[in-house]
Amino acid sequence: MKPQAVIFDLDGVITDTAHLHFLAWRQVATELGIGIDEAFNDTLKGISRPESLRRILRHGGKEGVFTQAECDKIAARKNALYVDSLQTLTPNAVLPGIRELLQALRTERIKTGLASVSLNAPAILQALQLTPWFDFCADAAQIQRSKPDPEIFLAACRGLDVNPRECIGIEDAQAGVEAINACGMRSVGIGVNLTGADLLLPTTECLTWSRLSTFWQHDK
Ligand code: B16
Ligand code: MG
Report whether residue 120 contacts ligand 1, using a CB cutoff of 6 Å.
Answer: yes
Q: What is the number of other CB atoms lying within 10 angstroms of the CB of residue 61?
A: 9
Report whether residue 15 contacts ligand 1, using a CB cutoff of 6 Å.
Answer: no
CA of 62 relative to ligand 2 center, distance in Å: 26
Q: Which ligand is nearest to the CA of 146?
A: 1
Quick: pLDDT tens for 145-203. 889 999 999 999 999 999 999 999 999 999 999 999 999 999 999 998 899 999 999 99
Instruction: Kindly state the greatest CA–CA separation across the chain.
Output: 55
Helix intervals (H) in the chain: 18-31, 38-42, 49-59, 68-85, 98-107, 121-127, 151-160, 174-182, 209-219
Q: What is the number of other CB atoms lying within 10 angstroms of the CB of residue 106?
A: 14
Q: Whose CA is nearest to atom 3 of ligand 1?
A: 46
CB 102 within 8 A of CB 133: yes
Going from the first residue of the chain to its last (220 residues), give the mean pLDDT of each consecutive group of 10, the final group possibly shorter.
96 93 97 95 90 96 95 98 94 97 98 95 95 96 91 98 98 95 97 94 97 88
Q: Which ligand is nearest to the CA of 45?
A: 1
CA of 13 relative to ligand 2 center, distance in Å: 6
Q: What is the DSSP letter of 11?
A: B
How many Cα neighbours within 13 Å face the side chain of 135? 20
